[in-house]
Amino acid sequence: MNNFNLYTPTRILFGKGSIQELRAQIPADARVLITYGGGSVKKTGVLDQVHQALQGLDVLEFGGIEPNPTYETLMKAVELARAENITFLLAVGGGSVLDGTKFIAAAAQYPQGVDPWEILETSGSKITRAIPMGSVLTLPATGSESNKGAVISRKATGDKQAFHSPWVQPVFAILDPVYTYTLPARQVANGVVDAFVHTIEQYLTYPVNAKIQDRFAEGILLTLIEEGPKALQEPENYDVRANVMWAATMALNGLIGAGVPQDWATHMLGHELTAMHGLDHAQTLAIVLPALMNEKRQQKREKLLQYAERVWNITSGGEDQRIDAAIAATRQFFESLGVPTRLGDWNLDGSSIPALLTKLEEHGMTQLGERKDITLDVSRRIYEAAR
Amino acid sequence: MNNFNLYTPTRILFGKGSIQELRAQIPADARVLITYGGGSVKKTGVLDQVHQALQGLDVLEFGGIEPNPTYETLMKAVELARAENITFLLAVGGGSVLDGTKFIAAAAQYPQGVDPWEILETSGSKITRAIPMGSVLTLPATGSESNKGAVISRKATGDKQAFHSPWVQPVFAILDPVYTYTLPARQVANGVVDAFVHTIEQYLTYPVNAKIQDRFAEGILLTLIEEGPKALQEPENYDVRANVMWAATMALNGLIGAGVPQDWATHMLGHELTAMHGLDHAQTLAIVLPALMNEKRQQKREKLLQYAERVWNITSGGEDQRIDAAIAATRQFFESLGVPTRLGDWNLDGSSIPALLTKLEEHGMTQLGERKDITLDVSRRIYEAAR
């Protein structure tokens, strides 16, 4: 096991009706800015419930944070937060609203006169303060509700980049599985794929004999495999929604990644696909992961075999057969959720691969993966194999 | 899944040499009281390393906190902490030192004129402040390094009682597996049994379809089963020690118990055995648990069958056969670690059972277990079956 420093201070308020706990989490003298996305939280009534819970506080709203939240949109909220002296941000929505709100939190208190895009250029390392924030989660997927990371896009340049800072770790997260009943199937499926790949990025590397981390990761994968399809078939099955929601949070709160190597190449290659072609985040992961597993089968051999056995119960056949079967099972799982696993399924013929590689290079993504051996040439082979 | 409120703010600094992180965790103007036990931390050099790390700070020491830390001893430290205006407590040792230091932390700031034994009588509910504390852990077992609970004994009355308060949750825990190399085999074995039973108390109840919690609990149990015996056979195998240490912390930081029923009857029956007969905490758990599993086989049937299959790979035979096999495997596991599972192994013939039941009654332990159906009569049957 590798050394680690694990800090998971976000308070989780989980379950039906947990909105009742919201008021007590926010300082009584706070000036609150509620942030949300395209308006589904209005239709579902969640936003009303939030307002009701916050009665008596100074509350403003900022809506319209898009999927793959953009610098351009978020800077409007930054101006509002500064002008209105906001002291608490409450993200109501999914990972995009969370991530966007993290950017608002840090950017609003970034030095005047410095363009907050620097936060992305410096991966968050220069952040020294932020407006405290919490969330009411409506879409289980990214884990952003209890970690310190965010991914922000920039329309003008087609960039999609990440930052991390302890200053933007949410103080609390309200997780009510009932809020997820009304999600479109596509978002449910995307969320399951996203959480699955988050787990894989921290698990499918090389063994360091970290048995708890491995067992926990496998537990998350098994849960997603069991519950993901059910979440689509029985949208109002509370326990299924609860298990998916908790799995997604656990997949990226730092716990399973503590003390183990991490990959994240699938995410980096996926980000470029989203930025260039507009595919949903999870849709890109489902395309890249199977191709990457195959490309790195030598380097990931031991963990691929462990994954085959413990997650998919594949125990017969030679090593390469078992690895093939595990990759096929992964692909089949994504497709069973309605998420395609080939570029061709999106009418992409691979002609953009040179441009994708250029973007990867621009973003410094030339030595990816747990061994930093996914060079641009390897990335090219992965994109090509994903056609 | 049941609703839950999960807060795990203790920062974990894990791994070889993590003592180097100690200094940065303590305020620069702190007056620190280091607390420790019988002196093994002097022999092993850990205490020296702590002093070295804290050079430049005002540091005092309080040694002699015994296993099953007593009110009588701890009150001396409370006086010292008050007299010396201590502002930070650093527990260096295992669960007893941690638990004792939690009591010191709360008692030192308890209202003057009120006997701090009230903390135990009110289960910690009246605590409104405490001296902040951290720890350097030398014995993986109790999980006390990252939770808000403690168990304190009182010599004068033979009581052993628990309290919980968010005020005594440690700010950080330094977990260096190397510090555990020199532990006596008995303490290593006790630690594995303790962590195992902590996990069981939160797992082996009735199903609420909490798949992540179940998988995580099973992951901890499987890890302890794999690594426990190796920790005894290869005391300086770093990875083995690391896995045991991390398993013990994860077993009782609140995570696997969030959203699920909890039992804790084995602990309550065990506490009375320690208080009356002086057995080590874990030794009492190894005696009570198999008898309790058998006594509650109807009420715990579904989880016992799941435990049999997923933890012990017992899949053939009728239901009762599988349950019998799982109980036998549990007993065999404890005994393989050198921890006996019968009262008779300690030359106890059961004649103290009426007195044990009287103590349980005195302590209000008349409706134990996840269904509150372990009455004194059931406890009597469990003690008798454990002879």
pLDDT digits (tens, 9 = 90+) for A69-112: 999 999 999 999 999 999 999 999 999 999 999 999 999 999 99
CB pairs under 8 A between A and B: 132
Residues in contact with A163: Cβ distance below 8 Å, sequence separation at least 6, in sequence order: A102, A103, A106, A119, A120, A122, A123, A124, A127, A149, A150, A152
Q: Running DSSP on this structure, what letter comes out for residue B351?
A: T
**pLDDT for the residue B375:** 98
Give CA–CA dist A252/A145, Å, rounded. 9
Q: What is the dihedral of CA B64, B67, B73, B76, to 10 degrees?
A: 50
**pLDDT for the residue B195:** 98
B219 and A220 within 8 Å at the Cβ level: the answer is no
Give CA–CA dist A22/A135, Å, rounded. 9
Q: Which of A262, A198, A252, A253 is nearest to A7 (CA)?
A: A253
Give CA–CA dist B91/B136, Å, rounded. 6
Superfamily name and number for A184-385: Dehydroquinate synthase-like - alpha domain (1.20.1090.10)
Residues A214, A203: contact at Cβ < 8 Å? Answer: yes
**pLDDT for the residue B82:** 98
**pLDDT for the residue B158:** 83
B13 shares contact with chain A (CB less than 8 Å): yes
CATH 1.20.1090.10 intervals, chain A: 184-385
Structure tokens at A94: 């999914």
- Domain B185-385: which topology? Dehydroquinate synthase-like, alpha domain (1.20.1090)
CA-based nearest residue in chain B for residue A4 = B14
Q: Enumerate the residues of chain A whose CB falls inside 8 A of the CB of residue B208.
A: 239
A227 shares contact with chain B (CB less than 8 Å): yes
CA-based nearest residue in chain B for residue A174 = B5
State the maximum Cα–Cα separation within chain B, in Å, rounded to a whole number: 66
**pLDDT for the residue A158:** 83
Share of chain A above pLDDT 90, in %: 98
ipTM over 0.95: yes
Task: Give the ranges where A204-259 is alpha helix by DSSP (H).
Answer: 211-233, 238-251
CATH 1.20.1090.10 intervals, chain B: 185-385
Give CA–CA dist B212/B208, Å, rounded. 11
Backbone angles phi, psi at B71, to 5 degrees: -50, -45
pLDDT category at A113 given cuts 50, 70, 90 is very high
- Mean pLDDT, range A164-170, rounded to an integer: 98
Residues B72, B8: contact at Cβ < 8 Å? Answer: no
The H helix count followed by the E strand count for chain B is 15, 8
Residue at A50: amino acid letter: V
Structure tokens at A163: 């930052």
Give CA–CA dist B384/B378, Å, rounded. 10
Tell me: pLDDT of B325 over 90: yes
* C-beta contacts of B282-285 below 8 A and 24+ residues apart: B282/B141, B282/B189, B282/B190, B282/B191, B282/B193, B282/B194, B282/B197, B282/B339, B283/B190, B283/B193, B283/B339, B283/B340, B283/B346, B285/B193, B285/B194, B285/B197
Q: Enumerate the residues of chain B whose CB falls inside 8 A of the CB of residue A2.
A: 15
The H or E element that residue B175 is part of is: strand B172-175
For residue B24, give the 3-state DSSP assignment.
Answer: helix
Pairing of strands A159-164, A149-154: antiparallel
A212 and B220 within 8 Å at the Cβ level: the answer is yes
Of A5, A212, A219, the CB nearest to B212: A219
Report CA torsion sign: B266, B272, B276, B281. Answer: positive
Buried b (16+ CB within 10 A) or exposed e, A273-302: bbbbeebbbbbbbbbbbbbbbbbbbebbee
Chain position carrying tokens 């208080």? B275
Tell me: pLDDT of B144 over 90: yes
Tell me: pLDDT of B159 over 90: no
Question: How close, in Å, is residue A18 to chain B by CA atoms?
Answer: 8
- Domain A11-179: which topology? Rossmann fold (3.40.50)
Backbone angles phi, psi at A378, to 5 degrees: -70, -40
Beta bridge partners of A361: none
Report CA torsion sign: A53, A55, A58, A61. Answer: positive
Beta bridge partners of A62: A35
Give CA–CA dist A220/A202, Å, rounded. 12
**pLDDT for the residue A39:** 87
Residues A320, A383: contact at Cβ < 8 Å? Answer: no
Dump pLDDT digits (tens) for B80-120. 999 999 999 999 999 999 999 999 999 999 999 999 999 99
CB atoms within 10 A of CB A28: 8
B17 and A3 within 8 Å at the Cβ level: the answer is yes
Question: Can you give the C-alpha Rg of chain B in angstroms?
Answer: 20
Tell me: pLDDT of A19 over 90: yes
Q: Which of B10, B191, B36, B147 is nearest to B101 (CA)?
A: B36
Instruction: Quote the mean pLDDT of chain A.
Output: 97
Tell me: pLDDT of A159 over 90: no
Give CA–CA dist B341/B193, Å, rounded. 11
Q: Enumerate the residues of chain A whose CB falls inside 8 A of the CB of residue B218.
A: 215, 219
A1 and B239 within 8 Å at the Cβ level: the answer is yes
- Which range (A120-124, A355-359, B154-158) has the least confidence? B154-158
B52 shares contact with chain A (CB less than 8 Å): no
B216 and A215 within 8 Å at the Cβ level: the answer is yes
CATH 3.40.50.1970 intervals, chain B: 11-179
Dump pLDDT digits (tens) for B224-276. 999 999 999 999 999 999 999 999 999 999 999 999 999 999 999 999 999 99
List Cα–Cα distances, A77 to A103, A159, A264, B106, B113, in angstroms.
10, 20, 30, 44, 53
Of A8, A12, A259, the CB nearest to B14: A259
CA-based nearest residue in chain A for residue B227 = A211
Give CA–CA dist B274/B69, Å, rounded. 12
Q: Running DSSP on this structure, what letter comes out for residue B315?
A: -
Which residues 18-37 of B are in CB contact (within 8 Å) with A? 18, 21
CA-based nearest residue in chain B for residue A218 = B215
Of A12, A14, A211, the CB nearest to B243: A211
Residues in contact with B79: Cβ distance below 8 Å, sequence separation at least 6, in sequence order: none
